[in-house]
Amino acid sequence: MHPKRRLSFFLISLFFFSLFLFAKNSMALTAGDAAPDFSLTDSNGKVQTLSQNKGKYVVLEWFNEGCPYVQKHYKSGNMPDLQKQYTGKGVVWYSIISSAPGKQGNVTAAQANARVKEWNAAPSAVLLDPEGKVAKLYGAKTTPHMYVINPEGKLIYTGAIDDKATSDVEDIKTAKNYVKEALDQAMAGKPVATSATVPYGCSVKYN
Protein backbone atom coordinates (compact mmCIF):
# COMPACT_ATOMS: atom_id res chain seq x y z
CA MET A 1 0.00 0.00 0.00
CA HIS A 2 1.24 3.49 -0.84
CA PRO A 3 2.59 5.31 2.25
CA LYS A 4 0.05 8.17 1.87
CA ARG A 5 -2.85 5.72 1.58
CA ARG A 6 -1.53 3.83 4.57
CA LEU A 7 -1.44 7.06 6.58
CA SER A 8 -4.95 8.02 5.47
CA PHE A 9 -6.26 4.58 6.38
CA PHE A 10 -4.61 4.84 9.80
CA LEU A 11 -6.06 8.29 10.49
CA ILE A 12 -9.56 7.24 9.42
CA SER A 13 -9.35 4.13 11.60
CA LEU A 14 -8.14 6.21 14.53
CA PHE A 15 -11.03 8.65 14.02
CA PHE A 16 -13.69 5.93 14.09
CA PHE A 17 -12.05 4.20 17.05
CA SER A 18 -12.14 7.48 18.96
CA LEU A 19 -15.83 7.87 18.12
CA PHE A 20 -16.45 4.35 19.39
CA LEU A 21 -14.70 5.05 22.69
CA PHE A 22 -16.56 8.34 23.12
CA ALA A 23 -19.90 6.69 22.48
CA LYS A 24 -19.08 3.83 24.83
CA ASN A 25 -18.07 6.17 27.64
CA SER A 26 -21.08 8.41 27.04
CA MET A 27 -23.73 5.70 27.22
CA ALA A 28 -26.08 6.44 30.07
CA LEU A 29 -27.38 3.71 32.32
CA THR A 30 -31.05 2.96 31.79
CA ALA A 31 -33.72 0.97 33.58
CA GLY A 32 -33.09 -2.74 33.22
CA ASP A 33 -29.30 -2.35 33.13
CA ALA A 34 -27.23 -4.14 35.73
CA ALA A 35 -26.10 -1.58 38.29
CA PRO A 36 -22.28 -1.42 38.23
CA ASP A 37 -20.62 -2.62 41.41
CA PHE A 38 -18.42 -0.18 43.31
CA SER A 39 -16.37 0.14 46.47
CA LEU A 40 -16.21 3.36 48.50
CA THR A 41 -15.28 4.28 52.05
CA ASP A 42 -18.08 5.81 54.06
CA SER A 43 -17.90 8.70 56.52
CA ASN A 44 -17.30 6.26 59.39
CA GLY A 45 -14.31 4.63 57.71
CA LYS A 46 -16.09 1.47 56.60
CA VAL A 47 -15.79 0.14 53.05
CA GLN A 48 -19.18 -0.18 51.34
CA THR A 49 -19.86 -2.07 48.13
CA LEU A 50 -23.01 -2.42 46.08
CA SER A 51 -22.55 -6.19 45.81
CA GLN A 52 -22.76 -6.63 49.60
CA ASN A 53 -26.42 -5.61 49.35
CA LYS A 54 -27.54 -8.28 46.90
CA GLY A 55 -31.12 -9.24 47.67
CA LYS A 56 -32.02 -5.76 48.89
CA TYR A 57 -33.37 -2.60 47.33
CA VAL A 58 -30.72 0.13 47.16
CA VAL A 59 -31.12 3.87 46.64
CA LEU A 60 -28.19 5.97 45.46
CA GLU A 61 -28.55 9.70 46.09
CA TRP A 62 -25.92 12.20 44.93
CA PHE A 63 -25.39 14.80 47.64
CA ASN A 64 -23.83 18.27 47.92
CA GLU A 65 -24.54 20.20 51.11
CA GLY A 66 -23.99 23.56 49.40
CA CYS A 67 -26.53 22.97 46.63
CA PRO A 68 -29.86 24.80 47.15
CA TYR A 69 -31.77 21.92 45.54
CA VAL A 70 -30.28 19.50 48.06
CA GLN A 71 -30.97 21.95 50.88
CA LYS A 72 -34.59 22.15 49.72
CA HIS A 73 -35.12 18.45 50.29
CA TYR A 74 -33.13 18.21 53.51
CA LYS A 75 -34.08 21.35 55.41
CA SER A 76 -37.75 20.69 54.67
CA GLY A 77 -37.37 17.19 56.12
CA ASN A 78 -38.39 15.58 52.83
CA MET A 79 -35.20 13.60 52.19
CA PRO A 80 -34.68 12.55 55.84
CA ASP A 81 -38.30 11.36 56.00
CA LEU A 82 -37.84 9.27 52.84
CA GLN A 83 -34.61 7.81 54.20
CA LYS A 84 -36.23 6.83 57.51
CA GLN A 85 -39.33 5.44 55.83
CA TYR A 86 -37.49 3.14 53.43
CA THR A 87 -34.49 2.12 55.50
CA GLY A 88 -37.14 1.07 58.01
CA LYS A 89 -38.42 -1.30 55.32
CA GLY A 90 -34.98 -2.78 54.71
CA VAL A 91 -33.89 -0.52 51.85
CA VAL A 92 -30.21 0.44 51.78
CA TRP A 93 -29.79 4.17 51.16
CA TYR A 94 -26.41 5.58 50.16
CA SER A 95 -25.84 9.34 50.01
CA ILE A 96 -22.81 9.85 47.77
CA ILE A 97 -20.56 12.93 47.84
CA SER A 98 -18.59 13.24 44.60
CA SER A 99 -17.42 16.85 44.93
CA ALA A 100 -13.72 17.14 44.14
CA PRO A 101 -11.27 18.74 46.59
CA GLY A 102 -11.62 22.51 46.47
CA LYS A 103 -15.09 22.30 44.91
CA GLN A 104 -18.46 23.09 46.48
CA GLY A 105 -19.68 20.23 48.63
CA ASN A 106 -16.34 18.54 49.24
CA VAL A 107 -16.18 17.65 52.93
CA THR A 108 -14.21 15.56 55.35
CA ALA A 109 -15.75 12.49 56.93
CA ALA A 110 -16.26 14.38 60.18
CA GLN A 111 -17.96 17.26 58.36
CA ALA A 112 -20.25 14.84 56.55
CA ASN A 113 -21.28 13.24 59.83
CA ALA A 114 -21.88 16.63 61.40
CA ARG A 115 -24.16 17.61 58.50
CA VAL A 116 -26.09 14.34 58.76
CA LYS A 117 -26.69 15.03 62.44
CA GLU A 118 -27.61 18.68 61.88
CA TRP A 119 -30.11 17.88 59.13
CA ASN A 120 -31.52 14.85 60.96
CA ALA A 121 -30.67 12.73 57.93
CA ALA A 122 -30.86 8.95 58.04
CA PRO A 123 -29.03 7.32 55.12
CA SER A 124 -27.56 3.87 55.64
CA ALA A 125 -24.19 5.49 54.97
CA VAL A 126 -22.60 8.57 53.44
CA LEU A 127 -20.06 7.52 50.81
CA LEU A 128 -17.07 9.68 49.93
CA ASP A 129 -16.20 9.78 46.22
CA PRO A 130 -13.85 12.79 45.86
CA GLU A 131 -12.32 11.44 42.64
CA GLY A 132 -15.79 11.11 41.14
CA LYS A 133 -15.15 7.53 40.04
CA VAL A 134 -18.57 6.20 41.04
CA ALA A 135 -20.36 9.33 39.83
CA LYS A 136 -18.76 8.88 36.43
CA LEU A 137 -19.48 5.15 36.48
CA TYR A 138 -23.18 5.87 36.90
CA GLY A 139 -23.27 9.06 34.84
CA ALA A 140 -24.52 11.14 37.77
CA LYS A 141 -25.15 14.67 36.57
CA THR A 142 -26.80 16.57 39.39
CA THR A 143 -27.28 16.84 43.12
CA PRO A 144 -29.58 15.25 43.81
CA HIS A 145 -29.52 12.53 41.14
CA MET A 146 -31.41 9.43 42.23
CA TYR A 147 -31.01 5.76 41.32
CA VAL A 148 -33.12 2.85 42.55
CA ILE A 149 -31.73 -0.69 42.28
CA ASN A 150 -33.79 -3.81 42.82
CA PRO A 151 -32.75 -6.96 44.77
CA GLU A 152 -31.49 -8.56 41.54
CA GLY A 153 -29.03 -5.70 41.12
CA LYS A 154 -30.80 -4.00 38.22
CA LEU A 155 -31.72 -0.36 37.87
CA ILE A 156 -35.44 0.25 38.05
CA TYR A 157 -35.35 4.05 38.26
CA THR A 158 -32.91 6.84 37.44
CA GLY A 159 -33.43 10.59 37.41
CA ALA A 160 -34.97 13.36 39.46
CA ILE A 161 -36.36 12.95 42.95
CA ASP A 162 -39.67 14.50 41.87
CA ASP A 163 -41.43 16.46 39.14
CA LYS A 164 -40.89 19.95 40.59
CA ALA A 165 -37.53 21.11 39.24
CA THR A 166 -37.18 24.09 41.55
CA SER A 167 -35.40 24.98 44.79
CA ASP A 168 -38.69 26.18 46.32
CA VAL A 169 -39.59 24.18 49.44
CA GLU A 170 -43.31 24.87 48.89
CA ASP A 171 -43.25 22.80 45.71
CA ILE A 172 -42.61 19.62 47.69
CA LYS A 173 -46.22 19.62 48.88
CA THR A 174 -47.61 19.12 45.39
CA ALA A 175 -44.72 17.20 43.84
CA LYS A 176 -44.91 13.67 42.47
CA ASN A 177 -42.03 11.83 44.14
CA TYR A 178 -40.57 9.42 41.59
CA VAL A 179 -38.31 7.62 44.06
CA LYS A 180 -41.15 6.88 46.46
CA GLU A 181 -43.35 5.77 43.55
CA ALA A 182 -40.69 3.44 42.16
CA LEU A 183 -39.99 1.84 45.52
CA ASP A 184 -43.66 1.43 46.44
CA GLN A 185 -44.57 -0.10 43.09
CA ALA A 186 -41.58 -2.44 42.92
CA MET A 187 -41.92 -3.59 46.52
CA ALA A 188 -45.60 -4.37 45.85
CA GLY A 189 -44.60 -6.55 42.90
CA LYS A 190 -45.84 -4.06 40.32
CA PRO A 191 -43.98 -2.63 37.30
CA VAL A 192 -42.43 0.79 37.81
CA ALA A 193 -44.58 3.27 35.89
CA THR A 194 -41.86 5.90 35.49
CA SER A 195 -38.41 4.37 35.17
CA ALA A 196 -36.45 7.41 33.98
CA THR A 197 -36.69 11.19 34.19
CA VAL A 198 -34.34 14.12 33.63
CA PRO A 199 -32.50 14.90 36.89
CA TYR A 200 -32.42 18.45 38.18
CA GLY A 201 -30.23 20.32 40.65
CA CYS A 202 -26.65 21.55 40.81
CA SER A 203 -24.06 19.91 38.58
CA VAL A 204 -21.88 17.27 40.19
CA LYS A 205 -18.61 19.06 41.01
CA TYR A 206 -16.09 16.85 39.25
CA ASN A 207 -12.38 17.68 38.94
- The tens digit of pLDDT for each residue in 178-207 reads 999 999 999 999 999 999 999 999 999 997
Let me know whether 105 and 19 are in one domain.
Answer: no
* Domain range for 108: 31-203
Let me know whether 8 and 66 are in one domain.
Answer: no
> Residue 30: which pLDDT band, with cuts at 50, 70 and 90?
confident
- Choose among 185, 156, 79, 153: nearest CA to 123: 79
Let me know whether 115 and 185 are in one domain.
Answer: yes
- Per DSSP, the three-state class of 29 is coil
* Rounded Cα gap, residues 204 and 119, in angstroms: 21
User: Quick one: DSSP state of residue 116?
Assistant: H
* Rounded Cα gap, residues 155 and 68, in angstroms: 27
Can you give the pTM of this predicted structure? 0.87
Let me know whether 5 and 96 are in one domain.
Answer: no
* Rounded Cα gap, residues 169 and 100, in angstroms: 27
Let me know whether 14 and 93 are in one domain.
Answer: no
When pLDDT is averaged across residues 60-86 and rounded to a whole number, the result is 98
Backbone angles phi, psi at 87, to 5 degrees: -65, -30
Let me know whether 20 and 50 are in one domain.
Answer: no
Q: Total structural domains in the chain?
A: 2
Let me know whether 94 and 134 are in one domain.
Answer: yes
Give the bridge partners for 49, in sequence order.
Answer: 39
